[in-house]
Structure 1
């Protein structure tokens, strides 16, 4: 098996609400858009973020666990400069992001902040200077 990730699929309560946030609010481009069922957004050279209606998700994958609290996963968007973290967080806030944690200096030398999408999935916006930056940035 090749070492790669092709899809990140998130079960969402309302595909239209997710579209309003990601496409209309953040300005991302939909690759596949089936109203009420799935929204797919190419987020990398060979990586797709799939926002799938929860009922359709569960019909194929199986039932999900309780949705109380924060989903036990984070997604990350890395940027090339420290000040870009605050800029992206402001864009997310303007798009209607839920909980927004402002940029914070981290003990490992980077600077990060978090926002949540309409279904509570946490996005980390990170400036991560050092060797990992060369791997994750285009």
Structure 2
């Protein structure tokens, strides 16, 4: 195998309050695959999302005492329909998310909106008619 392999296997989000973060993702219907003292992991389609206490994450990174932020990135979920986007957006708001941009038709021909989770991590919910989803919700570019 040559390095670097073009893949991501784990995304870890630093959170201020692990119990609050777990409650938020549970309200979205997510079930942990592994729950530890300072981290929780969710199995996704060929990928794992981890929530890690920010203080413990900084220590794990070798940066004890560092003030970790949320960074300039967006996580995204694609859906089969605009109605699915709307339903997921409302569920996120009910779980405690902050609306950043309500779902709407967008310039590239799709439909999307943005929210921030309780720690400020930004999620986009989108329907892209040009990128069909697999039966398991996975996305492979055409």
Under a length normalisation based on structure 2, what TM-score does the superposition of the two structures give?
0.84
Moved over 4 A (4+): none
Quote the residue 1:76 is aligned against: 76
- Number of equivalent positions: 131
Q: 1:117: Cα distance to partner?
A: 0.6
Q: Does 2:120 align with 1:117?
A: no
Asked if the contact 2:80/2:133 (under 8 Å) is kept, the reply is no
Supply the distance in 1 between the matched residues of 2:77 and 2:32 (Cα, whole angstroms): 17
Instruction: Give unmatched runs, 5+ long, in structure 2.
Output: none
Asked if the contact 1:71/1:120 (under 8 Å) is kept, the reply is no
Supply the distance in 2 between the matched residues of 1:10 and 1:49 (Cα, whole angstroms): 8
Q: 1:64: Cα distance to partner?
A: 4.5
Instruction: Kindly report the root-mean-square deviation, in angstroms, between the aligned alpha carbons of the 2 structures.
Output: 1.9
Instruction: Give unmatched runs, 5+ long, in structure 1.
Output: none
1:55-85 alpha-carbon deviations (Å, 9 max, x no partner): 11100212345x4xx7311100000111111
Quote the residue 1:57 is aligned against: 57
Supply the distance in 2 between the matched residues of 1:43 and 1:26 (Cα, whole angstroms): 14
Aligned counterpart in structure 2 of residue 17 of structure 1, from 15, 20, 24: 20
SS in structure 2 at match of 1:59: helix
| Structure that is richer in helix per residue | 1
Asked if the contact 1:93/1:100 (under 8 Å) is kept, the reply is no
Supply the distance in 2 between the matched residues of 1:20 and 1:100 (Cα, whole angstroms): 21
Under a length normalisation based on structure 1, what TM-score does the superposition of the two structures give?
0.86
Supply the distance in 2 between the matched residues of 1:43 and 1:64 (Cα, whole angstroms): 28
Asked if the contact 2:79/2:133 (under 8 Å) is kept, the reply is no
Asked if the contact 1:105/1:112 (under 8 Å) is kept, the reply is yes
Q: Does 2:53 align with 1:41?
A: no
SS in structure 1 at match of 2:6: coil
Supply the distance in 1 between the matched residues of 2:112 and 2:52 (Cα, whole angstroms): 27
Quote the residue 1:29 is aligned against: 31
